[in-house]
Homo-oligomer: A and B are copies of this chain.
Amino acid sequence: MQAEIISIGDELLIGQVVNTNASWMAQKLNEVGVEVRQITNISDTPGEILRALAEAETRCQVILMTGGLGPTRDDITKEVLCRFFDTRLVMDQQVLEGIQSFFDRKGLSMTDLNRDQALVPESCTVVPNPLGTAPGLAFFKEDKLFVAMPGVPYEMKHIMENFVLPELQGKNAGHFILHKTILTQGIGESFLADLIEPWVQSLPPQIKLAYLPSPGIVRLRLSMRGSHKEAMQETLDHHIEALKRRIPEYFWGFDDDKLEKVVGRMLLQKSAWLATAESCTGGFIAHRITSVPGSSAYFKGSVVAYDNSIKQQLLDVPEHVLAQYGAVSAETVEHMALGVAKQLQTDYAIAVSGIAGPQGGTPEKPVGTVWIAVAGPRGVISRRFLFGDERERNILRASTAALAMLHKILKES
């Protein structure tokens, strides 16, 4: 079964908003064996919406629309749906009560614009949206399913999880798409490709391989379609084990796992505590670690020592070390790591100091130079990295490199 996602909104076409809704929907559709054939972003105008619906109908059995259902006057999707499905807008009493109770719960009063959100196309199945004011609208036309949903991510997700996915799971029993992604770090895409070439040759034709590089991490995705889920899973697992044996030093996880989660699990197993001391990453490593639920069981905190005075004062980096070697040096980051581990009484500590850019580079220490230290029960080690010119990318790569260093030390100990 194939689906098309139609994302409606000028904000996507002028580049003001990134289409994260479509990615989430695609993931969830895959999980119920529905393949996304196309994602189409179009403008919030009747002509474009009608054209996209007509085109999608020729290709796919499932057509999911997001956006264009808000309370404000720029939203016209509902009227276009009436034209496409040859029906008219009617007031739905149940939806109206839902909107009323939504505002009551928030202690706010309802506006006329909100009241109009209870107008729905007569021939549609209304899908409740307890998280917002615009309901989902489902149309069954011959063997096809069309669903229009609000563009607000958590409202769309609620409608997907409570209506669209169960509906499709029923229709699509016996079809499976399996994906498994292998996460590597510390090796570039083409070097990895060379290294695993014999393994790639050994893959059966029904397994499809894709490379997904991102800053500091290369992901390898294996995909397989079929009707025997268990046999497919066994085949995939067999080839993945063979791959893991080929790249033990680069492999670190699967699928949407994150270094910060893997590291968190390892710390928890060891009942060990972590702290960070961050200069150029400015709190981003602490943020990545604390974005994991339950991280308070192994993460004590961080000192973001953006100013050198803080490095001395809160992290006990001696003044002469800063003066002699500079803030971006092995000596400074090692002192920072040991200092924060002592101050916050932790078993492990990460410290980072570098030049994120765009300013602040020198001939010996150009923009992108980053020193990272990791302290642990066996002492402290440090390493120098040279990333690129882009501030945001440097912060991201430094945080990934730091977590990877900690990961390696935790694995070895």
Contacts and interface: CB of A to CB of B under 8 A. Distances in A.
Interface of A: 9-20, 22-28, 30, 35-44, 48, 52, 55, 70-74, 108, 111, 113-114, 133, 152, 154, 179, 181, 188-191, 193-194, 200, 208-213, 219, 221, 223, 256, 276, 278, 280-287, 289-291, 293-296, 299-307, 309-310, 313-314, 343-345, 357-359, 388, 390-393, 395
A277 to B, nearest CB: 10
A289 B301 CA distance: 18
Given A193-B111, A211-B70, A286 B282 contact: yes
Contacts of A294: 359
Contact of A13 (B10, B26, B41, B73): B26
Contacts of A19: 18-19, 22-23, 39
A15 B43 contact: no
A221 to B, nearest CB: 7
B23 A72 contact: no
B22 A20 contact: no
A278 B392 CA distance: 22
Given A73-B200, A289-B282, A314-B343, A11 B212 contact: yes
Given A210-B11, A390-B154, A190 B282 contact: no
Contacts of A285: 283
A94 to B, nearest CB: 20
Contact of A299 (B10, B193, B306): B306
Contacts of A71: 189-190, 193
A358 to B, nearest CB: 6
A16 B307 contact: no
A17 B23 contact: yes
Nearest to A345: B309
Nearest to A43: B37
B113 A344 contact: no
Given A36-B13, A285-B283, A391-B293, A113 B304 contact: no
Nearest to A282: B290
A392 B291 CA distance: 7
A282 B293 contact: no
Given A10-B208, A14-B27, 5 more contacts: A13-B35, A15-B36, A16-B27, A73-B193, A111-B193
A213 B151 CA distance: 10
Interface centre among A30, A74, A393 (most CB of B within 10 A): A74
Interface centre among A20, A41, A191, A223 (most CB of B within 10 A): A41
Contact of A210 (B35, B55, B74, B190): B74
26 contacts: A11-B210, A11-B221, A12-B23, A13-B36, A13-B38, A14-B26, A14-B27, A15-B24, A16-B256, A18-B18, A37-B42, A72-B189, A72-B211, A133-B190, A154-B390, A282-B290, A283-B284, A286-B286, A291-B391, A296-B307, A301-B305, A301-B306, A301-B314, A302-B302, A302-B304, A303-B304
Contact of A213 (B152, B283, B291): B152
A234 to B, nearest CB: 21
Contacts of A276: 304
A343 B309 CA distance: 11
Contact of A291 (B133, B344, B395): B395
B154 A393 contact: yes
A27 B41 contact: no
A41 B43 contact: no
Given A11-B221, A38-B42, A39-B13, A193 B72 contact: yes
A16 B113 contact: no
B39 A12 contact: yes
A278 B290 CA distance: 11
Contacts of A114: 190
B38 A41 contact: yes
A306 B310 contact: no
